[in-house]
Amino acid sequence: MIEQETLELLEWNRLCQHLATFAATKLGAIAARRLEIPTTKAETLQLLAQTQEVYQLELDLESGWSFDGITDIGESLERAKIGGMLGGQELLDLATTLAGVRRLRRVIDNREDIPTLTELVAQIRTYPEIEQEIHRCIDDAGKVADRASPKLAEVRVRLKEVRDTIYQKLYNILQRQGGAIQESVITQRGDRFVIPVKAPQKDQIPGIIHDTSSTGATLYVEPNAVVELGNRLRQYRRQEQAEEEKVLRALSEQIAAVQEDLEDLLAVATILDLATARSRYSLWLQGNAPKFIDFEQGETITLRQLRHPLLIWQQQHEQGTEVVPINVQVDPKIRVVAITGPNTGGKTVTLKTLGLAALMAKVGLFVPAREPVELPWFDRILADIGDEQSLEQSLSTFSGHIRRIIRIIDELKQEFRSSVETRYIASLQEFRSQESGEQKTEENVLVSPLSSTPLFPPWQGGMKGGSDAP
């Protein structure tokens, strides 16, 4: 498990925000911003396989693959589950989501070289029959269509006939009683059709007054000639509403019956979108897939031309300065890498770049470095990256550094006492000392397994010096 403080020090949240911009759906973007870090190597390998397969898939497709139509239908599914009635637009969103996921699965099913994605979509059901029924009953505007029910179609025919009759009668009144009319328009108050009548001439057009203008000069009157028609129109509207609700409830019940399957489908769509976001972000970074090495078997950590991903973003989007790459190569005999150099020389950036590279590899992202990208799978990443100015200005900040260092050292002590060979990459303490009146800043990076290696002083074996000098 990665400590939250470590993630904050490495600015992991900023990287997740950048990743989210490559997602195609709202759910994918949310998942990217809340990116979970795997706790096992098997999980990482699964994520990395997804990223690699989508990466290759999109390279082979002329315009990539599309998540068009896939929306967040989670709330609709929950409401259907408890017996709620879904609206027309919600049902349309469900139908387009089913169609969108079916298109994605069709692309995957047509390939034989993406086994991880094939396995992922193998069990999902996209229910084309439900999609077709929704489109039969709901029009493109999200309204219940006439074809949804013979009775609904009949009621709407009658509605139109009555409405047309009302309009014709009111139009005739406007023509005959022009002197009493404030404005020659037919309007509505509530569900009743009215005409604007001058208040002094109200007796010329007997009827029900439904509203008055702010000045009192105009009365909105429903003439007696259309009152009964208005009542009949209201009755037909109620029948129409009842028929519409009957259609919507029937469709909602179909959704409720397969709600769990649709939740699984939505989860798979989110996984696919997140894998696509990782792939597109990796391509944008010009990254390469990491290979996880076994440090105990004598394999070497190799990160050539490694660049800080947040600085790449800053350079591309905020006109930042050119990103200076670093080279890291650590053979298995080396347990500690000490990076030294002058202030503002790039030590902190180097530490953060290494920490982010390890995290990116864990979550299935490519690393912005040249091939080969070879590093261990780190189950823990511990960091304390100090800021000299903040240490001088704030005792509480300094105390925070000390507490983090103590926790890191405690972790190391546990490793010494344990036979479990846990791998670490830890960006340890920045500390200050006075030597001959001069300040000296030193930062250490530990790369291990540490279970068989005591923590030697810097002048003894098992340590490697690194410089941020060009």
* Cβ proximity of 463 and 446 under 8 Å: no
Question: What are the residue boundaries of the structural domains of the chain, listed by start?
Answer: 4-127+258-284, 148-243, 290-467
CA 206, chain centre distance (Å): 61
Q: What is residue 2's predicted lDDT score, i.e. its pLDDT?
A: 81
CATH node for 4-127+258-284: 1.10.1420
Q: What angle do CA 149, 155, 156 make, to 5 degrees?
A: 90
Q: What is residue 467's predicted lDDT score, i.e. its pLDDT?
A: 53
Q: How confident is the model at residue 254 (pLDDT cuts 50, 70, 90)?
A: very high
Q: How confident is the model at residue 298 (pLDDT cuts 50, 70, 90)?
A: confident
Strand 431-435 and strand 438-447: the pairing is antiparallel
Mind listing the pLDDT tens digit for each residue in 315-356? 988 776 789 999 999 888 887 787 877 776 678 888 899 999
Q: DSSP secondary-structure letter at 371?
A: E
Q: Is a pLDDT exceeding 90 seen at residue 162?
A: yes
* H-run or E-run covering 237: helix 224-257
Backbone phi, psi, residue 305, to 5°:
55, 40
Handedness of CA 56, 59, 62, 65 (dihedral sign): positive
CATH topology for 290-467 is Rossmann fold (3.40.50)
Percent of the chain with pLDDT over 90: 68
* Fold match flag (4-127+258-284 vs 148-243): yes
- 338-356 core/surface letters (b: 16 or more CB in 10 A; e: else): bbbbeeebbbbbbbbbbbb
* H-run or E-run covering 269: helix 259-284
What's this model's pTM, rounded to 2 decimal places?
0.80
CATH of 148-243, one of 3.90.850.10, 3.30.70.2200, 1.10.1420.10, 1.10.10.10: 1.10.1420.10
* H-run or E-run covering 326: strand 326-330
The token pair at 462 is 């098992």
The token pair at 401 is 């550094």
